[in-house]
């Protein structure tokens, strides 16, 4: 048994966080001593919720989970990981499409900074969920209540009611 402390970051845009993301967080807690959910700003994506709103929603969901914190960040994930002295980047995989993209990203991150990426497969019931899909269905008035946590569902309904 190792006494090494392992801090991981779970980066993403989480716009919005889904039940699939929560599954990865809960499973990551079993693997690492500390898990930082790192909410990134992506200049390449149209964002429904501000980074501050996303941090707030996720913080509500992980409140009381020992070893989990939520923070927003700008810039490169690997630079943020280095700043936080994280040993590992945690990523969830849903499909073969994810594998190709995530593999390239993990190899680049390791070659640039030496940080390892650990992948967990999502639970079968969440394998098809993406934030993009959730936003699209919600924008058209579809019922996504089984895809996202209750606090996120409420905020999505409010947001699309205004539009």
**Neighbouring-strand partners of residue 7:** 34
Q: Of these residues, 94, 110, 157, 159, which one is catalytic?
A: 94
Of 115, 138, 149, nearest in space to 25 by CA: 149
What angle separates helix 131-139 from helix 150-162, to the nearest 10 degrees?
50
**Neighbouring-strand partners of residue 8:** 35, 88
**Neighbouring-strand partners of residue 118:** 90
pLDDT bracket for residue 32 (50, 70, 90): very high
Q: Of these residues, 13, 54, 131, 135, which one is catalytic?
A: 131
Task: Tell me the pLDDT tens digit for each residue of 66-124.
Answer: 999 999 999 989 999 999 999 999 999 887 777 888 888 899 888 888 899 999 988 88
Fold of 7-127: Rossmann fold (3.40.50)
Q: Of these residues, 13, 21, 54, 135, which one is catalytic?
A: 21
**Neighbouring-strand partners of residue 90:** 118
Q: Does residue 162 have an active-site annotation? A: no
> Residue range 29-37: average pLDDT?
96
Residue 130 CA to residue 126 CA, distance in Å, equals: 9
């Amino acid at each position: 048994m190792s006494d090494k402390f392992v801090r991981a970051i779970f980066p993403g845009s989480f716009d919005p966080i889904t039940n699939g993301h929560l599954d990865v967080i809960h499973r990551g807690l079993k693997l690492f001593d500390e898990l930082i959910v790192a909410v990134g700003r992506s200049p390449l994506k149209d964002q429904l919720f501000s980074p501050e709103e996303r941090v707030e929603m996720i913080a509500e969901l992980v409140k009381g989970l020992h070893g989990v914190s939520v923070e927003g960040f700008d810039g490169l994930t690997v630079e943020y990981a280095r700043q936080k002295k994280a040993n590992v980047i945690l990523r969830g995989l849903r499909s073969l499409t994810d594998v190709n993209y995530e593999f390239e990203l993990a190899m680049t991150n390791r070659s640039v900074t030496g940080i390892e990426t650990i992948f967990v497969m999502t639970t079968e019931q969440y394998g098809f969920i993406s934030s993009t899909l959730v936003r699209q269905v919600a924008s058209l008035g579809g019922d996504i209540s089984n895809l996202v946590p209750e606090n996120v569902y409420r905020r999505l309904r409010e947001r699309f009611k205004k539009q």
